[in-house]
Structure 1
Amino acid sequence: MQVKNIRIPPRHEVRPFFQPIISLQSQEIIGYETLGRWIRESGVESLGPFFNDPDISEDMQLMIDRHLREQAIEQIAAAPGEGSLFINLKPSWIYRTYKRTGVLPTIELLKKYHINPSRIVIEITEEEFTGKLQELTWIVELYREFGCTIAIDDVGSGFSNFDRIASLQPKILKIDLNILKKSIIHDGYKALMQSFSILAAQMGASLLVEGVETKQELHTALQVGARYVQGFLFSKAEPELQRPDAYKSMLEKEMKLFGQEEFSRYSRLLSVHQSLSTLIHTNVGISTADEADTVIEQTISTVSDNCIRMYICREDGYQTSSNYTRREEGWSKDESYRQANWTWRPYFISNILMMNLQKQGILSQAYADLDTSRQIQTYSCALGEGYYLFLDLEI
């Protein structure tokens, strides 16, 4: 039988390295994720394989991790004003250690080095957890009560499920880098990224996108509402902390470029408003489905090429007109949508209220079209008393 060669690093050969986390709000480094490295004569190795090896005992992994953790906390404590420290903790470690000892070693280290707990982010890592979620939540709450910030790592991967996210109520959601990369070339993953952005906003959490390696990925992170980013585009993990403004110049340039591209994109989307100006400011009389269809047919030649669908609804949500959909061969009419009710759409009622309040058309957030799965936005505007025109625009 072949015996597996398990490599266990001596404590004096391991040390923490620090990968910067940058705020897109200030374009400065606001913290560091601490990552373990094995310093050997042959070079520097990641300790990731050591911590993920099921043949190495949890006690041995914890001993090395706590040694690294204390070194990192000592280093960040000696650099006041240098930002936060993101500490990775497996949920099983937190759970079993506290159940066994009644102590949270990280809190004891913060007391020892007199570090403000608001500078510490506890990252609950991606891992299958078989304990009681309610008890884990109660234990994690002890970190929060002490003043630490709670983050969930690798959101969207196998084990960081929505039940855990809802229960722990983190202030930072860290997105799995594989989803970011797939979202650039796959509409399904793009929609998933946007759903995490909405989830973060609903929970009062900030989105942190990791694994940003290219400027295109940085722009993708900006599109989904990331507040924080990290990755090789900026820096790999280094043994020393860096200047807070180390990447400010590059970020200012890229964010300016991103802003210009977004303004241009929204200007194209909103050009539909100009094409409908005459119709919007005319008191259109609609009392039947046929009259609603006539209004669309008189307008259809004026809309922009990115308009893929048109229809008219009453403010109670019922569709009055047929659906008019752009095909390769031209526009098609589908009367089966007459009397369909759209109040179940998340944006419908709020958009009606905003149009009535602002007396102008509005553009919805981007979402995936139910029929085509393509990314679209819906422009809507009032048409006389109680009727509203909707146009689905391909992004």
Structure 2
Amino acid sequence: MDPLKIMLQLEKVNLHYKPIISADTQLVDGYEVSAYFQENDRMAEPLDWFFEDASIPDDFRLELTHYIYRKSLEVFEEQNQSKNLSIFYDLRLLDSDNGQSLLTLLESAGIKGLDLSKIIIEIKEAHIPERIDDIRKFTTYLKTLGIKLALDVERRNGSLDRLAMLAPNMIKVDAGFLKEDSLPHLFQDVHHSLGMLSRKIGAALLFKGISSYNQLNYAWRNGGQYYQGSYLKQAQTGFVEDDCCQAKLNADFQNFVMFERKKVKAQLDLTNRINETFKTMLPALKPGLPYDEMICSIGKYCSDFVFRVYICNGEGIQLSSNAEKNNLEEWELHQEGRNKNWSWRPYFFENIMRMNVEKKGILSDLYTDIEKTELIRTYSYPISETLYVFLDIPYGYLYEQDGLL
């Protein structure tokens, strides 16, 4: 589509409103505005590309931006809309007029009585320059007007330092990368750091692009306070009922809770089972037994649900070899594991302290074993005040048990 054609026919640019749903109330909390161009009876075409094409002159993009802002603000004012209004602003346009025309427009809307605390200016993290002093001045002034700032993090390896410096009110992340046949827990670390940052700076986490039950579940499990996407509600030319998604979300949330309870129960049952096994097994082992003999005995005792056993001290140093079960279900010793340091593993020392205090074993989260390249869990148990045995549980066993994957 020719950009000049669009600029000459701005009256054919229509606004669509994508609902933003609150996890707290399951009600519509606001709308994100997007622009579409509709010529005659043809299907409306989204204009997102218009703002991404750097070859389009800045004055074109600036004019269309202000047209969208003016029109959306007028609609909200005319309909006395009480919800939040989220509108995108391209930071790359700041060089054109230092954002003055946008600020003038917003200040004018405030003078007319529009509640500026309901306005959310959305910017993209990818558009933030290395030197962000001018951006910080711009966003800081927006906040003095009561306007909220949303930061869309399209790159999952974006700079957390720059996000923290801008201190947005909302961080937007895309759930669209998660395919329907994916296992959501494999990607938990992807947004863990963003979730931690959002809590520290008091920002809400919004998951956009939710097009499936699986993606909604991922957003729910990863602390999403707001949801957006076609699975809930498509963008509309008008506003929707506040409770349009409430029944659907309530039903899905109930399923999520039931599934999580089922998983927790399965993990507790397995943990208790292994704890009871160790209470019976350890007293039967001879005192002073060499570590390698001990892990072979433990492996044989737990052979139906374990494929690798080893012993570490409280500093993370492996004191034994690896006892591993081969394809013939026989246990073998692999010396190369001895003296390795596992203290770098996440939660290692936290788990050591928990075992010392609670005097019982701990079952890990799912993770991918480097050597076998398959999902496993590790069970760790304190066999003395300074020694800890680790049992790796294979994917095959976890798959057969309900709730362990």
TM range (shorter): 0.7 to 0.9
Which position in structure 2 is the counterpart of 1:218?
216
State the 1:59 CA deviation: 1.4
Closer/same/farther in 2, CA of residues 61 and 358 from structure 1, 3 Å limit: same
Partner of 1:86: 86
Quote the residue 1:199 is aligned against: 194
Amino acid at match of 1:197: H
Q: Percent identity?
A: 25
What corresponds to 1:97 in structure 2?
Answer: 97
1:7 correspondence with 2:5: yes
Q: Distance in 2 between matches of 1:113 and 1:97?
A: 23
* 2:318–2:342 contact (8 Å) kept in structure 1: yes
Deviation at 1:211, TM superposition (A): 1.6
Give the Cα–Cα distance (whole angstroms) in 1 for the partners of residues 82 and 361 of structure 2: 46
Deviation digits for residues 147-199 of structure 1 (CA, Å, limit 9, x no counterpart): 433332143269x5555435434343322354233xx5568x97555322333
Determine the C-alpha separation between the residues in 2 that align with 1:209 and 1:20: 12
Tell me which residue corresponds to 2:381.
381
Give 3-state SS (helix, strand or coil) of 2:233's partner: coil
Partner of residue 232, structure 1: 230
**TM-aligned CA deviation for residue 35 of structure 1:** 0.7
1:135 and 1:289 map into 2 onto residues whose CA distance is 68
Distance 1:154 1:286, change over 3 A: farther
RMSD: 3.6
Cα distance change, pair 387–17 in 1 and its aligned pair in 2 (3 A): same
Which residue of the partner structure matches residue 265 of structure 1?
263
Distance 1:382 1:157, change over 3 A: closer
**Contact 2:381–2:389 (CA<8 Å) still a contact in 1?**
yes
Partners in 1 of 2:247 and 2:210 — Cα distance? 17
In 2, Cα distance between equivalents of 1:289 and 1:135: 68
TM superposition score normalised by structure 2: 0.79
Check if 1:143 corresponds to 2:138. no
Aligned residue for 2:401? none
Q: TM-score, normalised by structure 1?
A: 0.81
Distance 1:142 1:308 in 2: 60
Q: Aligned equivalents of 2:121 and 2:57: distance in 1?
A: 23
Q: Is the 8 A contact 2:311 2:319 kept in 1?
A: yes
Q: Which moved more, 1:346-355 or 1:44-53?
A: 44-53
Q: CA deviation at 1:250?
A: 1.1
CA separation of 1:243/1:202 partners in 2, compared to 1, >3 Å: closer, same or farther? same
Instruction: Give the residue type in structure 1 aligned to 2:69.
Output: R
Residue 237 (structure 1) shift = 0.9
Residues 279 and 383 in structure 1, CA contact (< 8 A), matched pair in contact too: no
Shift of 1:255: 2.0
Amino acid at match of 1:150: L
Partner Cα separation in structure 1 for residue 69 and residue 232 of structure 2: 23
- The structure with more radius of gyration: 2
Q: Which runs of 5+ in 2 are unaligned?
A: 396-404
User: What residue ranges of structure 1 are gaps of 5+ in the alignment?
Assistant: none
**Contact 1:28–1:245 (Cα < 8 Å) also in 2:** yes
Matches within 5 A, 1:36-115: 36-42=35-41, 43-77=43-77, 82-94=82-94, 96-98=96-98, 101=100, 104-105=103-104, 107-109=106-108, 111-115=110-114
Give 1:32 deviation, angstroms.
1.6
- The aligned amino acid for 1:345 is R
Aligned length: 387
Q: Provide the C-alpha distance between the structure 1 equivalents of 2:279 and 2:97, rounded to a whole number of angstroms.
A: 68
State which drifts further: 235-244 or 290-299: 290-299
- Contact 2:126 / 2:153 at 8 angstroms: preserved in 1? no
**Deviations, residues 194-233 of structure 1 (Å, cap 9, x unaligned):** 3223332244244322222222332333344433221111
Counterpart Cα distance in 2 of 1:153 and 1:81? 24
